[in-house]
Amino acid sequence: MILKAPWEIDLMRKSSRIVAETLGKLTEMINPGLTTMELDRFAEAYILRRGGKPAFKGYRGYPYTLCVSVNEQVVHGFPSTRRLEYGDIISLDLGVVVDGYYGDAAVTVPVGKVSDEARRLIAATQGALSRAISAVRPGNHLSDISHAVQSTIEGQGFSVVRLFVGHGIGRSLHEEPQIPNFGPPAQGPVLKPGLVLAIEPMANAGGSDVMILDDRWTAVTCDRSLSAHFEHTVALTEDGAQVLTSYTEDESAQGTGR
Ligand code: MF3
Ligand code: CO
């Protein structure tokens, strides 16, 4: 686990802010008829204009700026000529690097009015991220984060994806430690100021099993049930947890007791 100095967290605040603002713009663009490639094109141009660089493009050969995962797609969906349809749910995952420091976040957004199940799945996954962020406190253990995610999602009748994990983040997109979205409380390393984590719960409406499509990236639920994904880059500072990728004051103060 690599602990960051305050000046490093300040740089991560820059990349993370670009992530947050880009996701905010993309969320506003979402409408039936829009192609997922249009979202990717906008995101790349906007990030470059803000002085950042897309972090995913070229990472292990990933070809795009954004991951766009629709309905039964879990994560790592390719932008394409697919048009969004009324009732879809769409997960947008985005990383940005500024001066060598990374930020990473994801949101799942409904396209128009969606089914009750879809609405509940999105709320449960977002709630799991929020509970997980509340577990980011000095003295807590890493698995308290995992446990918060699992108990929230399963408590609402959904299942947790096990194939993908959250991660440390900093001068690399993925650093130690891995953060599973399931597990017992009070295990693993103790959380300390300077730790920066990308916490990313993924939940399925049906079973937890996922498979990778022939494009070698897109993960889908095996039973083709809906899937949702939320992610924030969170720094543990001397003043408590700070959500670096949030765009509302409200959200970024979460966990700091403010
Ligand atoms: N947020 C995801 C992750 O941390 C996105 C990675 S996509 C990739 O794994 F293209 F960069 F691999
Ligand atoms: Co991530």
Residue pLDDT, tens place only, 108-134: 999 999 999 999 999 999 999 999 999
**Which atom of ligand 1 is nearest the CA belonging to 173?**
4
Question: Average pLDDT of 234-249?
Answer: 90
Q: Counting beta carbons within 10 angstroms of the beta carbon of residue 62, is it exposed (0 to 12), middle (13 to 18) or buried (19 or more)? A: middle
Would you say the CB of residue 44 lies under 6 angstroms from ligand 1?
no
Q: Which residue has the tokens 């947008």?
A: 92
Distance of CA 181 from the midpoint of ligand 1 (Å): 16
> Does residue 258 register a pLDDT over 90?
no
pLDDT band at 256 (very low <50, low <70, confident <90, very high): very low
Closest C-alpha to ligand 1, atom 8: 56
What would the mean pLDDT of 236-253 be, rounded to a whole number? 81
Domains of the chain: 6-246 (3.90.230.10)
**64-91 burial code (b ≥16 CB/10 A, e <16):** bbbbbbbbbbbbbbbbeeeebeeebbbb
> Is the pLDDT at 249 greater than 80, yes or no?
no
**pTM of the complete model:** 0.96
Band of the pLDDT at 247, cuts 50, 70, 90? confident
Tokens 């103060």 found at: 253
How confident is residue 251, by pLDDT bands cut at 50, 70 and 90? low
Pocket probe for ligand 1: among 19, 67, 107, 233, the residue whose CB has the most ligand atoms within 8 Å is 67
Residue with CA closest to ligand 1 atom 10? 56
Taking the C-alpha atoms of residue 15 and residue 18, their distance in angstroms, rounded to an integer, is: 5
Residues 176-189, mean pLDDT to the nearest whole number: 97
Ligand 1 within 6 A of CB of 62: yes
**Would you say the CB of residue 67 lies under 6 angstroms from ligand 1?**
yes
What is the whole-number distance in angstroms between the Cα of residue 231 and the centre of ligand 2?
A: 7
